[in-house]
Amino acid sequence: ASEPMNLTPARTDLVPKGAVVTGGIVERVVDGDTIHVRVSGDDVTVRLIGIDTPETVKPDSPIECFGPESSDFAKEALTGQSVTLELDASQGNEDRYGRLLAYVWREASDGSLSLFNLDAVAAGYARERQYGSTPYAWKAELGQAGREAQAAGFGLWGACE
């Protein structure tokens, strides 16, 4: 019996900085850092910016420590949720696999937004990671959350070497 996941947002005082795509519904979670979002009738594969989670579905790769937990956290927090996708001009719109690069904002019933990328790092379900040489918009916040999670031994920091 695992403990119930803490889905409470790390912060609710943040708002998107960049261009947004609103009206998305999360159809499916592939793993902790890749999801499918239905936007205007289209199924869009989204790779979350600024985070890296342990592999669970990569072909010819073993399931990594805390990968299933990271996937379960994303599934629990995001499946069926209304989301706003924030784009980051500094990162480009797509990765080399053609996935949309975005921050995923969960929409609460009261209209407030919470940055899932940050929540995953703060709870120890993801590591902060910058791809390429250009820092991304939320790097300071995710970096800080990652250092705090690591110091506290949250999630993968306590479970994995």
> So which residues are the catalytic ones?
47, 55, 99
Q: Cα separation of 155 and 101, whole Å?
A: 25
Enter the tokens of residue 63.
């399931």
Contact in structure between 74 and 29 (CB atoms under 8 Å): yes
Q: Cα separation of 83 and 102, whole Å?
A: 11
User: Which are the contacts of 15, defined by CB distance < 8 A and separation ≥ 6?
Assistant: 113
| 45: three-class secondary structure by DSSP | strand
Beta-bridge mates of residue 114: 106
Q: Strands, E, within the chain: which ranges?
A: 20-31, 34-39, 42-48, 51-52, 82-86, 100-107, 113-115, 127-128
The letter for the amino acid at 29 is V
Tokens 């929540």 correspond to 119
